[in-house]
Amino acid sequence: MAIFSLDEFKSSPDTRFSKGTWIVEYHDQTHVSEGNYLGLGKVEIEECTPNGNCFFRFHPCSGEELEEDIRNEWERDAWKGKLDPQQKEGQSEKAAQTILDQLRESMVRLGILQPYFEIEHPKFITERKFAIVVLDTNALRNSAVYHLQEQFRTTQMWIIIPTVTLMEIGERVATIKSRVNDKSKPSNTALIRNRPQVTITSQAVKWIRKHFPTETLELAPELFRAFRGYETRSTDPYKEPDRISINDRLILEGIKNLRRQRNLSEEVYLMSGDKDMSRLARLEGIQTIYPDIPDIQGISDGIYSIRYSLESQTYVVCSIHRFLWDLTHVFSKIRVRKCTESFETKKELELFYYYPTKRVNDWVDDKLEVTGFGSSSTA
């Protein structure tokens, strides 16, 4: 067992991978019984260089496979008496879709799945030397701004992160903390959707500030008091925070204030991964960028760890270590197993995000607990 940063995980001789088929699974104590893992897909490592870099294809499980795996999990003794048959059917379908959605977002963050940008007036970006792009929480978590810069390389992007977006991250932290030790509800699979807004967005903000001119969009105090006064609070601890629509409204009003104060119009865009938010913004005269992410179920050959970018005329490469690292931030604990032709486990590695001894510096430095392979063996 070792505590690694991503760079340490990549460079360690104890975590070298080799050619072959690897099964990728996850465990999340909030909705998976102790000792059990649910499948996410398989990785075919096709080639590895002497320095440990591997080229691979990821084949995600189908929706049907995920549903079956989840239903089998809920047949285990730990769930007896907690679910009726109707709940099992409905919740398993929702859970499978949540998992697929998060796998899609992960592939976009890793750079190996490219979103299609729906932009109201794309020529406004290409014809200008700069564009101001305001990011909501959804845009932060899928790191689509990386792909935007790749596509519009001649345009300088000035990134603005609304204060309310950062506040929403804090609200998600509170939600996850209140439910992280509760294993009583299958609806806890929703935490898979919420967790990246905590584990991913903070790292995304650091990366954006390093690579783009960035500022924070402050809220006018009167706006904050007015709109936050309308929020209602539910007594149900399992209900999603109902502030989301209020936060969206605050972002839109903040953009309008920004345009008035700086005498801007066409140069300001809102990037949001939320279709409803994008639609509402357009109705109110705010130009939007919506990153439409492809359905990974339709990619029959699998998702390659390398792709060629026509815009930048360079190759975009994702390492197997970074691939597993991102998945761990979403699914809490990832296990990857190298199998023989008879599907017997030959080697395995586990990555854990919420390990018990995690210190403040470990959170800041984005460290994970890595178990497996060992100092004297190479997978």
Q: Which helix (H) or strand (E) holds 169?
A: helix 163-179
- Helix axis angle, 221-228 to 244-262, nearest 10°: 160
63 is written with which tokens? 């929706």
Contact 289, 270 (CB under 8 A): yes
Count other C-beta atoms under 10 Å from residue 134's C-beta: 26
Question: Can you give the pLDDT at residue 241?
Answer: 44
Instruction: Identify the CA nearest to 143 among candidates 112, 175, 100, 97.
Output: 112
3-state secondary structure of 120: coil
3-state secondary structure of 172: helix
3-state secondary structure of 319: coil
**Domain boundaries in the chain?**
2-113+300-372, 116-293
For residues 37 and 40, give the distance between their C-alpha atoms in angstroms, rounded to a whole number.
9
3-state secondary structure of 242: coil
Q: Which class does domain 116-293 fall in?
A: alpha beta
Residue 78 DSSP code: G
Question: Can you give the pLDDT at residue 335?
Answer: 96
For residues 346 and 19, give the distance between their C-alpha atoms in angstroms, rounded to a whole number.
13
3-state secondary structure of 44: strand
Residue 7 DSSP code: H
For residues 190 and 331, give the distance between their C-alpha atoms in angstroms, rounded to a whole number.
11
Across 328-362, b (16+ Cβ under 10 Å) vs e yields: bbbbbbbbbbbbeeeeeeebbbbbbbbbeeeeeee
3-state secondary structure of 290: strand
Residue 216 DSSP code: E
Q: Quick: pLDDT tens for 246-285.
A: 888 888 988 998 888 888 766 789 999 889 999 999 999 9
Question: Can you give the pLDDT at residue 175?
Answer: 66
- Residues with pLDDT less than 50, the chain: 230-241, 375-379
Q: How many Cα atoms within 13 Å fall on the side-chain side of residue 127?
A: 6
Question: Can you give the pLDDT at residue 32?
Answer: 84
Question: Can you give the pLDDT at residue 238?
Answer: 44
Question: Can you give the pLDDT at residue 377?
Answer: 39
Question: Can you give the pLDDT at residue 243?
Answer: 57
Whose tokens are 């005498």? That residue is 263
For residues 328 and 335, give the distance between their C-alpha atoms in angstroms, rounded to a whole number.
9
Instruction: Identify the CA nearest to 255 among candidates 275, 228, 281.
Output: 281
Backbone dihedral angles phi then psi of residue 277, each to the nearest 5 degrees: -65, -45
253 is written with which tokens? 């009003």
For residues 332 and 180, give the distance between their C-alpha atoms in angstroms, rounded to a whole number.
11
Q: Quick: pLDDT tens for 313-353.
A: 777 889 999 999 999 999 989 999 987 666 566 788 999 99
Instruction: Identify the CA nearest to 146 among candidates 172, 107, 199.
Output: 107
Q: How far apart are the first and last CA of the chain?
A: 15
Contact 28, 331 (CB under 8 A): yes
With 0-12 CB in 10 A as exposed, 13-18 as middle and 19+ as buried, what is 112?
Answer: buried
Contacts (Cβ under 8 Å, ≥6 apart) of 67 = 92, 93, 95, 96
